């Protein structure tokens, strides 16, 4: 369990840097178009997953609140 938490923490610490790299690649006109498209696709996929996770957490929170009533 502690190894899993350590990995999760490291992923969270480095996700900002990874996002910055993807954004720079996507915005750089000198980068190959296929690389820019791939970077954009990654950003959109992660954003979509983040929104889905946020939505699920909100729904769980509401269910737990209703269960307490």
DSSP reduced 3-state for 42 = helix
Give the pLDDT of residue 41. 96
Examine the pLDDT at 9 and tell me if it is beyond 90: no
How sure is the predictor about 10, in pLDDT bands with cuts at 50, 70 and 90? confident
How sure is the predictor about 1, in pLDDT bands with cuts at 50, 70 and 90? low
Got the DSSP string for 2-59?
HHHHHHHHHHHHHHHHHHHHHHHHHH-TTS-HHHHHHHHHHHHHHHHHHHHHHHHHHH
pLDDT tens digits for range 14-65: 899 999 999 999 999 999 999 999 999 999 999 999 999 999 999 999 999 9
Q: What is the pTM of this model?
A: 0.72
DSSP state of 69: -
């Amino acid at each position: 369990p502690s190894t899993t938490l350590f990995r999760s923490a490291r992923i969270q610490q480095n996700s900002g840097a990874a996002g910055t790299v993807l954004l720079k690649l996507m915005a750089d006109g000198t980068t190959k178009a296929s690389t820019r498209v791939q970077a954009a696709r990654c950003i959109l996929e992660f954003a979509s997953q983040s929104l889905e996770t946020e939505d699920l957490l909100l729904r769980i929170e509401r269910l737990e609140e209703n269960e307490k009533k």
